[in-house]
A = this chain, B = another copy of it.
Amino acid sequence: MAIVTLTTDFGQRDHYVAAMKGVILQIAPKTTIVDVTHHIDPHNVLMAAFIIRQTLPYFPRGTIHVVVVDPGVGTSRRIIAAQYLRQLVICPDNGVLSFLQRDVPLETLREVANRGLFATSEPSSTFHGRDVMAPVAAHLSGGKRLTEIGPATDKMEMLDLPLPERRPDRSMRGEIVYVDGFGNLVTNLTRDDLGPTFIARPHARVLIDGKDVGPVRQAYGQVEPNDILALIGSIGNLEIAVNQGSAAKTLGAGIGTPVVVE
């Protein structure tokens, strides 16, 4: 049986996550269930899109990722299953695949439509994670073929993601796209965007909202505790951080704050 991961905005206080796990274990008892996070900000599809993009590449082939951030539950929005890197994501068709779709080749896309695989013939109008996505994932974990879940499709909703920009003076302009639990500010400028022109070059300058935070460094420890620095973070993007502190708090910055490297 497969690994099934769960990414939701349900929190961990209520019974919703457990209900999904129970449904999975009833259908495919030997499934390995992994919680990615249940702390997506409520209804924040962009955040979920970022998290699943960062998570999927670390898992083995055959993993099934269920992503339930679903403000449109009960409306006509579809549920889809998309294959990337020989793994599957089952999710509402609401843009939650936008980062994956931008960065990783899509291998297969199907609509989840075979009601025979749902937990009930009349799914609730408020909890398709439990009634549709979890049981379909479990049936796939138990050996059902992908072709059985529903017809192939060739379109999906996409969010409008901010793109980095090279300016006439050869500086790069990006913005904060994620703030992690430490308060690290993750930009949309990748190692490749910056390249040897900017990385580890003492004369390069990183400016966040106009404030100069020095060159692109290699490790937190290159500045004193509580000092601000820029470095290439663990996902390969430029991050603004505070050594042993929170850059989000120190700088009052967040999603959308502009960052320039010059």
* A41 CA / B34 CA spacing, docked (Å): 23
B residues within 8 A CB of A244?
A: 42-43, 71
Cβ of A12 < 8 Å from any Cβ of B?
Answer: yes
Copies of this chain, complex-wide, total 3
* A141 CA / B199 CA spacing, docked (Å): 37
Q: Cβ of A19 and Cβ of B60 under 8 Å apart?
A: no
A219 touches which one: B29, B59, B73 (CB < 8 A)? B73
Cβ of A153 < 8 Å from any Cβ of B?
Answer: no
Considering only residues 104-144 of chain A, those with a C-beta below 8 Å from chain B are: 124-127, 130
Q: Cβ of A220 and Cβ of B19 under 8 Å apart?
A: no
B residues within 8 A CB of A60?
A: 22, 25-26, 29
A231 touches which one: B15, B23, B125, B218 (CB < 8 A)? B125
Q: Cβ of A18 and Cβ of B39 under 8 Å apart?
A: no
Q: Cβ of A10 and Cβ of B221 under 8 Å apart?
A: no
Over the window 31-73 of chain A, the binary record of Cβ atoms lying under 8 Å from chain B Cβ atoms (1 yes, 0 no) is: 0111111110011000000010011011110010000000111
Q: Cβ of A15 and Cβ of B34 under 8 Å apart?
A: no
B residues within 8 A CB of A25?
A: 3, 32, 34, 59-60
Q: Which residue of B lies closest to A129 (CB)?
A: B234
Cβ of A202 < 8 Å from any Cβ of B?
Answer: no
Q: Cβ of B125 and Cβ of A51 under 8 Å apart?
A: no
Q: Cβ of B126 and Cβ of A72 under 8 Å apart?
A: no
Size category, A interface: 35 or more
Cβ of A14 < 8 Å from any Cβ of B?
Answer: yes
Cβ of A210 < 8 Å from any Cβ of B?
Answer: no
Name, among A15, A63, A72, the residue most crowded by chain B CB atoms within 10 Å (CB to CB): A15
B residues within 8 A CB of A38?
A: 12
Cβ of A13 < 8 Å from any Cβ of B?
Answer: yes
B residues within 8 A CB of A147?
A: none
* A219 CA / B19 CA spacing, docked (Å): 20
A39 touches which one: B12, B32, B36, B43 (CB < 8 A)? B12
B residues within 8 A CB of A42?
A: 182, 244
Cβ of A5 < 8 Å from any Cβ of B?
Answer: yes
Cβ of A174 < 8 Å from any Cβ of B?
Answer: no
Q: Cβ of A59 and Cβ of B15 under 8 Å apart?
A: no
B residues within 8 A CB of A19?
A: 54-55, 58, 234
Chain A residues with a Cβ under 8 A of chain B? 3, 5, 10-19, 21-23, 25-26, 29, 32-39, 42-43, 51, 54-55, 57-60, 63, 71-75, 124-127, 130, 180-182, 218-222, 231-234, 244
